[in-house]
Structure 1
Amino acid sequence: MINQDFSNQNLRGHSFKGQNLEGANFSHADIRGANFTNAYLRGANFSYAKAGLQKRWLVTLTCISWIIAAFSGFFSGFFVYLISAQINDGNDIRVLVGWFTLIVIIIFSIFIIREGLTEASALALVVVLVLNQIFA
């Protein structure tokens, strides 16, 4: 096998998809954004290689994270307002609905933390379908 030498090279965004790179030398190379999917890398040297996301992806993902955080904060505040308005209302049924909603949100949040968002979404779907059948 011929050892391939990629040392000190700029390989940003390069695709090595499915290639045999056994014993390849990537030392001091810039491999940010490179695709090594299904590549054979046994014995490859990545000493001091620069790896990670390209800056444009880092900026994009950071902006998306900020937008999601802003929506999350807004809706959290909005739901707290709605629940507190129901709990502080004099109507017994609204108070009961407010407390029930608060308990469901707490249980759902604990479930998300313990099981992950996918399983929690499945649980939420089942709960919504069951409640739909009960109150339909």
Structure 2
Amino acid sequence: MGGRSEEEQRLRTLVLLRRVRDRIDRAYAEPLDVESLARWIGFSAGHLSREFTAAYGESPYSYLMTRRIERAMTLLRRGDLSVTEVCSAVGYGSLGTFTTRFTELVGMSPGRYRREGPPPLSGLPGIITMRVTRPIRNREVLRPTSE
């Protein structure tokens, strides 16, 4: 019977992790931090980070930063906001931090992205375009292994 309670606990944890992910998706522009998200679901910050990473393959902080950069990409493509306005709209307090993080994840500065946009992807289904244009963190880039 111990297996059943472990399974119930695992399902309860997954429900709580989904709530955290949904909150990040909805409130990405608000001042969120791992400690407050953890308190919100009754976890310690370390426990939330470990469980979230195990479930989703990245830390809650990394997930939040990716959501912010994805939204920034959309706002920059629209072209009606300055880079500074986009920085603020997606929850960054520092233009320097925003520019550094954006450049790391997208491969070009926000100003250049606003001017030039992403490379054209004509003729692809929307779901493929979304996946191809999603920011990639350095650790996600596959490196050839030497055997």
Task: Name the TM-score, length of structure 1 as normaliser.
Answer: 0.30
Tell me the TM-score normalised to structure 2 length: 0.28
Query: Which of structures 1 and 2 has the bigger CA Rg?
Result: 1
Structure with more of its chain in helix, by fraction:
2
Pick 1 or 2: higher relative contact order, CA cutoff 8 A, min separation 6.
2
